[in-house]
Amino acid sequence: MSRAAKVVVPAVAWLALAGAPVFLAPYATTTLARMLVFGLLAASLALLVGVTGLPSLGHAAYFGAGAYAAGWFAQHVSAAAPYPLLVAAVTGGVVAAATGWVAVRARGVFFLVLTLAIGEIVRQVAETWEPVTGGSNGLYGIPATTLAGEPVVHPALLYWFVFAVFAVGFAVLWLVVRSPYGTALHGIHDNEPRMRALGYPTGLYKYGVFVIAGTVAGLAGGLLATQQRLVTPADLGFTTAALALLAVIIGGARSLWGACVGAGLVILVRDSLGPTLDGHGPLVLGVLFVLVVYLMPRGVAGIRPRRAS
């Protein structure tokens, strides 16, 4: 891909996303907003999986924690933007900081299993802490986010709000990846013993990126509470974490935008195609996963157009 294409293609994609509500029906606009929410979660997970080499099955814990925090804050304190989202991001970061110092000490399969256990513990807390979370019924009746005192309820306006926050969260992840810190994370992914031999405190670096990813996942959770105004224990359980990891693999683990594309495909199959397939949406996702693994090992982001000879 030429240098001009590397600039033009992303610019066109961002412009298309920004103008989508003008051309889409309300239901399609709402679906696209869900894709952006899940895309931000997947991109934050790609920072762990593809950039640092930390495959997590508990990342939804920080997503759900942020969603619950934003919903509770909107109900009991203020629904005025951006305060619930800031609370969500801080909550995701704090929970990630509290659990990450244990998780990053493990490696490989042990890290995967440990993050799965952390996710299930957080889900159990959400189910049993009924006065705060609503228990198994979830946290419902979350008031609409307000801007300048006006509730954001119209599908197009809500989409643009979600899109703006998504852009901020994605920019944070992009800056981390492009920074010298991100270069060190790539080195840890490729050869951690060598990075340690060069004097890099790899454990501290992994802990730092774990907290950053948890913070952005918490922000995505805040968007979830804003967009659907309902949070349930399933939003921080294994199913959500597995779907996020599936999105990262489909899109390309080493690409932030690839993870967003994968998230869009997952939401499309789950929410749009699934109801029309008599409940066989998970089967389609499974087939899609197998096809990607065998035909596109590097995911959607690994596809490169052939240069003209």
User: pLDDT (tens digit, 9 = 90+) per residue, 216-242?
Assistant: 999 999 999 999 999 999 998 899 999
Domain that holds residue 225: 33-236
Exposed/middle/buried for 178, CB within 10 Å: 0-12, 13-18, 19+? exposed
254 belongs to a structural domain: no
CA 201 remoteness from chain centre:
27
Strands in 75-155 per DSSP E: 139-140, 146-147, 150-151
Query: Cβ atoms within 10 A of the Cβ of 121, count?
Result: 13
> How much is the pLDDT for 309?
36
86 belongs to a structural domain: yes
Count of structural domains within the chain: 1
265 belongs to a structural domain: no
Please, what is the angle between helix 26-46 and helix 256-267, to 10°?
A: 140
Q: Is the pLDDT of residue 69 over 50?
A: yes
Indicate the SS3 state at residue 231. strand
288 belongs to a structural domain: no
273 belongs to a structural domain: no
44 belongs to a structural domain: yes
Q: Is the pLDDT of residue 275 over 80?
A: no
pLDDT in tens, 87-126: 999 999 999 999 999 999 888 889 999 999 999 999 999 9
pLDDT in tens, 195-207: 999 999 999 999 9
100 belongs to a structural domain: yes
User: Cα angle at 49 between 166 and 238, to 5 degrees?
Assistant: 80
> How much is the pLDDT for 91?
97
pLDDT in tens, 144-168: 999 988 999 999 999 999 999 999 9
110 belongs to a structural domain: yes
For range 164-180, the mean pLDDT:
97
Exposed/middle/buried for 168, CB within 10 Å: 0-12, 13-18, 19+? middle
